[in-house]
Amino acid sequence: MAGIVRRIASRVLGEDAAKKIYGGMDVVGDIAIIRKPVDFNDIDVFRRLGEEIIRSVKYIRSVWLAVAPVEGEYRLRKLIHLAGEKRTETIYREHGCVFKVDISRTYISPRLSFEHIRVAKLVNEGETVINMFAGVGLFSIIIARHARPRKVISIDINPDAYRLMVENVSLNRVEGVVEPVLGDALKIIDLYRGSAERILLPLPELALEALPKAVDSLRGEGFIHVYDFVRANDKKAALDEASRKYAGALEESSHVDAFNITYGRVVRSVGPRRYQVVLDIWVRKS
Ligand SMILES: C[S@@+](CC[C@H](N)C(=O)[O-])C[C@H]1O[C@@H](n2cnc3c(N)ncnc32)[C@H](O)[C@@H]1O
């Protein structure tokens, strides 16, 4: 797929422009999303590229241009239709699970695929997991299908994400394990104080703010997975910076008896000297 698109992009846009497009394309089900480089404003050129993709790649039915980065409370992208069917809903498959998604109304990124299965493999039998920023349920449902949790409380504030999460729970037959909840996780989490072994914070913009609430919702000790953006000169420095930030916050908390950052990795690069980082943090409450 990547090779074909790269060849089409080189033919339509020229080699230099094609290089910029290449790293910025996602395929979600049968929809391709091209990220517009900031210095490229001729939409007609992208339409030609979209039409070529539809002609040459049989399983792509719809092509969209993301004209701005993911933004706002619901983490959505502004999209312009380029070619093929004018449709934003599709079926996305990951790790043997099936997800109904809407690329314009809900957050969805295939770039988190490795993280979804990595975290699922860490979950022990009988755990209660709380996913505070669940989107359409990818982490939660993949955990329910690949591990044996007792419960996965799966919260999102976006009504469209909640609606699709409910559908995805039944599509993947994990009713009774994954419990979709609609609302502000920073408030709802208070209902789950002292109840979970593992908390997921997959929203960089709120992860640090959510951290004390995540600690409170642990039963005694457990793991918190934080996703955050950090500025740094390289990947090693990015991990050091994220570790400093979260260690600092946990050291200051009177609710934390002990903690250990057991793992960290750079999930992806999100701009010049800007990285998305995940930390797995074991915490024991005081
Ligand atoms: C980066 S996305 C989550 C991605 C998802 N975990 C996945 O793997 O596909 C962040 C989600 O947090 C939701 N969100 C933002 N603020 C929230 C809040 N205060 N409470 C609950 N959900 C929130 C957004 O609607 C969005 O769906």
Which residue's alpha carbon is at the smallest distance from atom 3 of ligand 1? 135
State how far the Cα of 177 lies from the Cα of 227, in Å rounded to an integer: 24
Verify whether ligand 1 is closer than 6 Å to residue 157 (CB atom): yes
Please give the distance, rounded to the nearest whole angstrom, from the Cα atom of residue 51 to the centre of ligand 1.
Answer: 32
C-alpha 79/C-alpha 88 separation (Å) is 10
Q: Are residues 246 and 196 in the same domain?
A: yes
Give the residue, 20 or 45, on which the prediction is more confident: 45
Do residues 33 and 120 share a domain?
no
**106, 232: one domain:** yes
d(CA 263, CA 265): 7
Write b or e for each residue in 231-262: b if 16 or more Cβ atoms lie within 10 A of its Cβ, otherwise e. Answer: ebeeeeebbebbbebbeebbeebeebeebebe
Q: Which of 241, 244, 246 is nearest to 231 (CA)?
A: 241
Query: Taking 90 as the threshold, does the pLDDT of residue 170 lie above it?
Result: yes
pLDDT at 1 over 60: no
Residues 206 and 134 in one domain: yes
The reply to whether ligand 1 has any atom less than 6 angstroms from the CB of 210 is: no
> Based on the domain organization, do 99 and 225 belong to the same domain?
yes
Q: Render pLDDT for 25-62 as a digit per residue (tens, 0 to 9).
A: 899 999 999 988 877 788 898 999 999 999 999 999 99
Query: 94: which 2 tokens?
Result: 């990951």
> What is the Å distance from ligand 1's center to 208 Cα?
14
Verify whether ligand 1 is closer than 6 Å to residue 221 (CB atom): no
pTM of the prediction? Answer: 0.95
CATH number at residue 7: 3.30.300.110
Claim to verify: residue 21 and residue 101 sit in the same structural domain: no
| Residue nearest (by alpha carbon) to ligand 1 atom 17 | 157
- Please give the tally of structural domains in the chain: 2
Of 30, 56, 87, the domain-final residue: 87
Q: What angle do CA 60, 137, 224 make, to 5 degrees?
A: 130
User: Do residue 196 and residue 157 come from a single domain?
Assistant: yes
Same-domain pairing of 237 and 97 = yes
Residue 206 and residue 117 share a domain = yes
Residues 124 and 73 in one domain: no
Same domain? For 82 and 117 the reply is no
Ligand 1 pocket, residue 227 CB under 6 Å: no
Residue 86 DSSP symbol: -
Q: Provide the CATH number for the domain around residue 192.
A: 3.40.50.150
Q: Is the CB of 184 under 6 A from ligand 1?
A: yes
Do both 74 and 106 map to the same domain?
no
**Ligand 1 contacts CB of residue 73 (under 6 A):** yes
**Mind listing the pLDDT tens digit for each residue in 113-147?**
999 999 999 999 999 999 999 999 999 999 999 99
Q: Which of 39, 56, 87 is the last residue of a domain?
A: 87
Domain that holds residue 45: 2-87
Given 87, 121, 150, the domain boundary residue is 87
Element of type H or E holding 84: strand 79-84
Average pLDDT over residues 191-197: 98
